[in-house]
Amino acid sequence: MFRSPFMNAVIEMAEECRNGEVPVAAAIVFEGKIVAISTNDVETSGIPWRHAEFVAISEALKKLGVRYLDKASLYVTLEPCAFCSAAIEKVRMRDIFFGAYDTKCGAIAHTIRLFDHSMVKPRIIGGIQEERCSSILRKFFGKMRSTGKRNVIEDEVEQSFDDAWSVLEAGSR
Half-sphere exposure of 126 (CA within 13 A, CB side): 15
Question: What pLDDT is attached to residue 164?
Answer: 46
Question: What pLDDT is attached to residue 157?
Answer: 41
Question: What pLDDT is attached to residue 147?
Answer: 85
Q: Is 53 a catalytic residue?
A: yes
Annotated active-site residue in 15, 16, 31, 53: 53
Question: What pLDDT is attached to residue 49?
Answer: 95
End-to-end alpha-carbon separation of the chain, Å? 66
Question: What pLDDT is attached to residue 1?
Answer: 60
Local mean pLDDT, 10-residue blocks, the chain (173 residues): 88 95 98 98 96 98 98 98 98 98 96 97 97 97 84 48 49 53
